[in-house]
Structure 1
Amino acid sequence: MTPSLAPSDLVTRLGHPDGTRAIIINADDFGMCAPANTAISGLLARGRIDSTTVMVPCSWSPEALAFAAANNGFDVGVHLVLTSEWTRYRWRPLTGTASSLVDADGFFPADVATVERTARGADVAAEFDAQLETALAAGADVTHLDNHMGSVYGLETGRDLLAESFGLAASHGLPFRLPRTIEGMGLAPEFQAVLDGAVRAADALGVVLPDRLWTHPFVLAGEGTADEEAYEHVRDGFIDLLRAVGAGVTEFYLHPMLDGDELARTVDFGARKRGYELRLLDDPMIDDVLAEEGIVRIGWRSLRDLQRAEAVTR
């Protein structure tokens, strides 16, 4: 991993001392399926994660949003969706299928490149607005926005959908998941210049961004073979990431789910890895490392409060 780059002043604007290493542990894909809801609601209740984001177009989102509405003290955002990646379980736009957001079968496309090539900006803006408004109407106190599969970043073809994302975030006073640096993301160095332009656009609108965005590989090495990666290796890799965190605000996003027959029938791969991530987030070794390293856990609500307070003085 490359050395930590200089962070922004976000951590001090949040009221922490200069040099604070702050992290947000976020669980993606709340509402995707029952195994996700069981895992994530439990982690929130046990204080094992700092936030989650709901996939509003998915079939199990009503349960997730009802949980969020009944527990408004938890940080719950909207995981803006433009893709539907599995083969046996898929979802459609809330705005209907007569748009540029669907494939030949009437679902969101399975891959990001297709979204970047075919989605019209106006359709994206309308769909994102519908997803957020649905969450708000359900009673969720939405704390932030992020994006499923990175479909708005322009990583595949160079065409991003960040203007539509930032417009929604700014109009609702919500921070957005876009890192200020590519550090630790495994992207080509030239992408930093592209990211710098996007960060300037967000800053101009007053949309608060974290400094970094980290995770670990989605796929379990050797999955389904005799050489399948063990839980301990996944855990140790995550601990290495935690120890590498520099000053500033870093979001870690994971996909914890209850591993079992239902999840295996839902996803095409990675069921065991998602079960490992649930186990990982409950592992007391993580607490020990955070304490040893002096890392502070925060939530997206603090970023939202900052964004809204700064908007008053803009």
Structure 2
Amino acid sequence: MSPKHLIINCDDFGQSPPMNEAIQHLLEERKVSSATIMAPAPGFEEAAEWSRRRGQPNIGLHLTLTSEFNALRWQSMTGHPSLHDESGHMHKTVEAFERNADTDAVMKEILAQYEAVVRHGIPLTHADNHMGSLYGMAVGRSHIPQVLRQCAKWKLPFRLFRKVHPTDTLLSSIPGVERIVAKASSLAGVLGVAIPDYLLSHSFEVEEGETYERFKQTMITKMYNLPDGISETYIHPAVEDAGMRTLIPHWEKRVWEYRLMLDDDFAYAIKDAGVVLTNYDYIRKYGRASRVGSAFALARELLRK
């Protein structure tokens, strides 16, 4: 049996003080693999300064092109009008972003976010994407080829995946996801960009009838059903905060995710299931595919009708 390696990444580092507090605690206690930071968000300076001061070694770039909450909005760093809605903030939905964003403006914004993090003296380990806005899952307008080329220049791994695990109902429900993944992962291989084998998702929202205990058991079951290879899952942890709970939809799920990482039952399940908690340094070493094999695979996918 091949080893089962898992990355647990904290998305949305820098979004708000309650999220920063939770993520910093989990990084300090080494309960998670890494975190990815949002350069345009209101809590970025706090998160970046903490990371720089500690010399935190496992911080990635959370490429942010959307601003989804009514009560917590942010603007792009470059100010291009195609990246904003009528309020002057980034688009609320992935669909609105895909329909309106100019590709050149997107790439300039991504570069600006990268440079903002680097200026703070943070050695980035990888990149991923807030709300999946770059994947083209809403109306089919993907920026993944451009982003992968940029990651190749930065020499950074990127959150993508080679296969869809059958137990992942969220990803499996996307029409044509297998072909989308095959083309994108093959292109990553051609460009020499390291990626995980699987991405394991779960509902961002509190589902009907869901409790913390039910959520915990779902996540524990995933540990025992983890596929061979390198998987990544992501969380959005936050501490209890009365103000944010009234402003941010499904804030309770974020508090649950924070609690789960500190839960002894979850820690035991990881060990008992033989899962090795790893990070993007491991992806950098072992997550690249053969460029020649990837080129053949990409050609095959492009020629398919």
Moved >6 Å (runs of 4+): none
1:208 counterpart (183, 190, 194): 194
Whether the 8 Å CA contact 1:124–1:164 is kept in 2: the answer is no
Residues 246-305 of structure 1: CA distance to partner in whole angstroms, max 9, x if unpaired? 1000001011101221322441x1111111111001001112111111110101123235
Higher mean C-alpha deviation, range 99-108 or range 35-44: 99-108
% identical equivalent positions: 33
Separation in 2, partners of 1:85, 1:298: 30
* Distance in 2, Cα, partners of 1:160 & 1:85: 19
Q: Is the 8 A contact 1:162 1:198 kept in 2?
A: yes
1:264 equivalent in structure 2: 245
Match in the other structure for 1:152: 134
Asked if the contact 1:79/1:147 (under 8 Å) is kept, the reply is yes
Aligned to 1:101: 83
**1:194 counterpart residue number:** 180
From 17, 24, 32, the counterpart of 1:41: 24
TM-score, normalised via structure 1 length: 0.87
* Other structure's SS at 2:149 match: helix
Residue 199 of structure 1 and its aligned partner are, at CA, apart by: 1.1
**Residue among 249, 271, 274 paired with 1:291:** 271
| AA in 2 matched with 1:236 | Q
| 1:177 pairs with 2:159 | yes
The aligned residue for residue 88 of structure 1 is: 71
- Normalising by structure 2, we get a TM-score of 0.89
Deviation at 1:68, TM superposition (A): 1.5
* Preserved CA contact (<8 Å) 2:195 2:287: no
- Give the residue type in structure 2 aligned to 1:56: A
Partner SS state of residue 149, structure 1? helix
Shift of 1:201: 1.1
Give, in whole Å, the separation in 2 of the partners of 1:239 and 1:199: 28
Letter in 1 for 2:256: Y
Distance 1:265 1:130 in 2: 32
Q: Distance in 1 between matches of 2:175 and 2:139?
A: 16
C-alpha contact (below 8 Å) 2:84/2:90 kept by paired residues: yes
Do the aligned partners of 2:261 and 2:267 also contact (CA within 8 Å) in 1?
no
Match of 1:301 among 281, 284, 298: 281
Alpha carbons of structure 1 residues 306 and 62: separation in structure 2 relative to 1, 3 Å: farther
Match of 1:55 among 38, 61, 66: 38
* Matched residues, number: 286
**1:130 positional shift:** 0.5
Q: Aligned partners of 2:126, 2:111: CA distance in 1, in Å? A: 13
* Amino acid paired to 2:255: G
Question: Structure 1 residue 37: deviation in Å?
Answer: 0.3
Whole-Å separation in 2 of the counterparts to 1:233 and 1:107: 36
2:226 maps to 1:240: no
Instruction: Report the 3-state secondary structure (helix = DSSP H, G, I; strand = E; otherwise coil) of the residue aligned with 1:180.
Output: coil
2:31 aligned counterpart, secondary structure: coil
1:76-116 Cα deviation digits (max 9, x unpaired): 101101100000110010001x3311111111100001111
Gap runs ≥5 in structure 2:
292-305
2:157 touches 2:195 (CA, 8 Å); kept in 1?
yes
Give the equivalent residue in structure 2 for 1:163: 145
Q: 2:99 aligns with which of 117, 120, 127?
A: 117
1:100-147 CA deviation, whole Å, 9 max, x = no partner?
Answer: 111111111000011111111111110000001100110111110000
Q: 1:100 aligns to what SS in structure 2?
A: helix
**Shift of residue 153, structure 1, vs aligned partner:** 0.7
| Contact preservation (8 Å) 2:196, 2:287 | no
2:126/2:157 contact within 8 Å kept? yes
1:128 corresponds in structure 2 to 110
Instruction: Report the alpha carbon displacement of residue 191 of structure 1 after superposing the two structures with TM.
Output: 1.7
Question: d(CA) in 1 for partners of 2:110 and 2:101?
Answer: 12
Partners of 1:208 and 1:142 in 2: CA distance? 14
2:253 aligned partner? 273
